[in-house]
């Protein structure tokens, strides 16, 4: 069962949502971006992604912030691998 719901409101006022499994906020953002893109609903870079973790935690992440994090400094080799994997999802 998916543990996250990621959604955004488009310029026409339509909310798009996808259910996914993710281990982190940024992975949820990246996986959602890939899913939206695959279905022709890719949000713009200034779009806010609403990420609801099924444990009743909701975060809002702009697409720009996701890109900034993916392209930012890595604090560990593990984070570098994670960012490389997630970059492939949003390209």
pLDDT digits (tens, 9 = 90+) for 9-64: 999 899 999 999 998 999 999 999 999 999 999 999 999 999 998 876 778 899 99
pLDDT of residue 58: 79
pLDDT of residue 1: 54
Sheet strands side by side (includes 57-62) = 15-20, 4-9, 48-53, 57-62
CA angle centred on 66, ends 70 and 41, rounded to 5°: 120
pLDDT of residue 59: 83
User: Residue ranges of the domains in the chain?
Assistant: 4-90
What global pTM score does this model have?
0.74
What is the C-alpha separation between 91 and 12, in angstroms, rounded?
25
């Amino acid at each position: 069962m998916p543990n996250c719901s990621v959604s955004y409101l488009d310029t026409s006022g339509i909310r798009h949502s996808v259910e996914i499994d993710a281990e982190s906020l940024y992975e949820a953002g990246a996986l959602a971006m890939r899913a939206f893109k695959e279905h022709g609903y890719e949000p713009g870079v200034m779009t806010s992604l609403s990420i609801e973790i099924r444990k009743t935690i909701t975060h809002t992440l702009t697409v720009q912030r996701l890109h900034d994090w993916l392209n930012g400094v890595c604090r560990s080799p593990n984070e570098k691998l994670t960012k490389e994997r997630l970059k492939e999802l949003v390209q």
